[in-house]
Amino acid sequence: MLIDTHAHIHDAAFQDDPDVVPRARAAGVSRIVTVGCDEKTTADAIAQAEKHPDVWAVAGIHPHEADRYVKDERLDWLRSALTHPRVVAVGEIGLDYAKMHSSKPGQHEIFRRQLRLATKPIVIHCRDAYEDCKAILRAEMKLPLRGVMHCFSGTVVDARDFLDMGFVISIAGPVTFSNADGLRQVATAVPLDRLVVETDCPYLTPVPHRGKRNEPAYVRHTAEFVAKLHGRSLEEFARITTRTAAKLFSLTE
């Protein structure tokens, strides 16, 4: 049984699809972590977790949304969300210099403030900002950290730095793409017990469904691909990575 450690099943892409969770179960995905990006999507994620016993939620502010929240000094809605029994982590939080939908100062400020609120594991979004991300984490938090580098896209050196900080590394559908040699090197270099898999659905659909809307059932394809990179069966890979994810997020059956 697999865990999709990072999904967005509360997204509008699934609003007319009541069978997305049953399809995941049928594909061997026993648990799904659905992740908020702002106040509304955090509430939507919690609603999904309340609706389905095998879905959990993550609450936080995505770096794209950071500038919207800089003036909200207390973030009371987030403080409240993090106390919800179905919320298992703070996220997705971090830095994104690839698209720059929010300013660097705004991203840094909201990232730091959320780290200071974190009493649960952290789910980090990082694109083209790895050195700044490492520096902020080291400045704000005591090592080792409890968290996951979501949809990792850095180098092997970056991955080792985050492993040293205490993180697990999450691999998503792009590892199956033909041009993803660097990501495959990362997936192979990370010890199997420090890896987890995700969809980031409805985005980043793995081969053989690339070009279609992604969904939690498809995490199986990513798991099969990475299992082969490690020379393991899907069953062994699933057992090890599921144990890692369940321990990280304190997930119950």
Which amino acid, one-letter code, is at 93? Answer: I
The mean pLDDT value for 102-114 works out to: 98
pTM of the predicted model, to two decimals? 0.97
Best CA proximity match to 77, nearest among 39, 109, 115: 39
Residue 58 structural domain: 2-249
Look at residue 212 in the predicted model and tell me its pLDDT: 97
pLDDT at 253 over 80: no
Predicted confidence band at 22 (pLDDT cuts at 50, 70, 90)?
very high
What is the average per-residue pLDDT within 118-129?
97
Side-chain half-sphere exposure of 241, counting CA atoms within 13 A: 35
Average pLDDT for the chain: 97
Count: domains in the chain: 1
Instruction: Give me the mean pLDDT over the 184-210 stretch.
Output: 98
For residue range 180-193, what is the model confidence (pLDDT) as tens digits?
999 999 999 999 99
Structural contact between residues 196 and 249, judged by C-beta atoms closer than 8 angstroms: no
| pLDDT at site 252 | 73
pLDDT in tens, 132-166: 999 999 999 999 999 999 999 999 999 999 999 99
Q: Is the pLDDT of residue 68 over 70?
A: yes
Q: Does the pLDDT at position 50 exceed 70?
A: yes
Q: Check pLDDT > 60 for residue 207.
A: yes
Span 64-69, average pLDDT: 98
* CATH at residue 42: 3.20.20.140
For residues 54-69, average pLDDT: 98
Cross-sheet strand order for the sheet of 87-96 = 2-7, 29-35, 55-59, 87-96, 122-127, 147-149, 168-171, 195-197
